[in-house]
Amino acid sequence: MDSFIKKIFNESVDDSVHQQFQKFSRGEFPDRAMIRIKNSKGKYTISTTAEYAKDLITNLAEKLKQEKTEVTGALISALDLDGFEYKEKKSAIGVRKYLIETEMSGEEILELTNKIQKAFFALSFKTNDSELKIKPKSPKSSKGASSKKKEGEKTKIDFCKLKTTDKSIIETLLLQDEPKDFKNMEIKHDLIIDEIIISEELKQEYKDDFAKIREMAKRKGKIIRKIIIDDKETKKEKEFII
């Protein structure tokens, strides 16, 4: 399954992409959905920010299919969740953390990701050719242009870490015309949200439920993709309505 960023550039936006943008208001949001990849003779070390967590989990789970693996980590949400097994529940400052420590098949992982929509998935597990580690904590909330790194300050990209020899996973993160053979690659995105689109139908259907209206509203804007491949930088832009 392609990453949500690749879906935007390929104009194949779906609900999973819309969910990524529900938290954004109008404004400029620099350095989002970041990736670092190191390639050592076909052994890839991928580090990403939190936005890619569910995409990475889903891709590995699809490859596992009926095969089982030990899964650890947490589901994190502002809501009370039910309908799945967990080891322990912790709550702090309005955030619920459901700790996971169990054996699951790829199909069971996929079932869980489809069943629970309003949660951050921070699951770590292995397949025969890959090892995924995701920090079991809440990702930081979205901030605007003021959150941009100071000049010379190194960007931290370490929320998700994946070691793999499966090149097809790399292809889910890269656009069709981007090189697949490299030693080092870094990708960053600037998101510019120009307009929050709320249709009259949406206003009528949910009336005073402002939280639901905000959730269902579409974001119109532009994404700027900045790629550094072996010290050579390129940029691409794509307008969107999500």
240 pLDDT exceeds 90?
yes
Q: Quick one: 5 exposed, middle or buried, by C-beta within 10 A (0-12, 13-18, 19+)?
A: buried
Q: How far is CA 58 from each of CA 61, 85, 236, rounded to the nearest angstrom?
A: 5, 19, 26
The average pLDDT across 10-17 equals 94
DSSP state of 166: -
What's the rounded mean pLDDT across residues 174-184? Answer: 94
Q: Are 96 and 115 in contact (CB under 8 A)?
A: no
Residues in the chain: 242
Quote the CA–CA distance of 54 and 24 in Å, as a whole number.
18
How far apart are alpha carbons 136 and 184 in whole angstroms? 27
pTM above 0.75, yes or no: yes
Gap between the terminal Cα atoms of the chain: 19
Q: Is the model's pLDDT at 146 over the cut of 50?
A: no
Domain limits of the chain?
Answer: 1-45+139-146+166-242, 50-136
Kindly report, residue by residue over 45-91, the tens digit of the pLDDT.
Answer: 999 999 999 999 999 999 999 999 999 999 999 999 999 999 999 99
Tokens representing 165 are 């020899």
Segment 171-175 shows an average pLDDT of: 96
Q: Which pLDDT band holds residue 1 (cuts at 50, 70, 90)?
A: confident
CB 210 within 8 A of CB 220: no
Q: Which residue reads 């459901």 in tokens?
A: 98
From the list 169, 97, 105, the residue with the least C-alpha distance to 135 is 97
- At residue 101, the pLDDT reads 98
SS3 165: coil
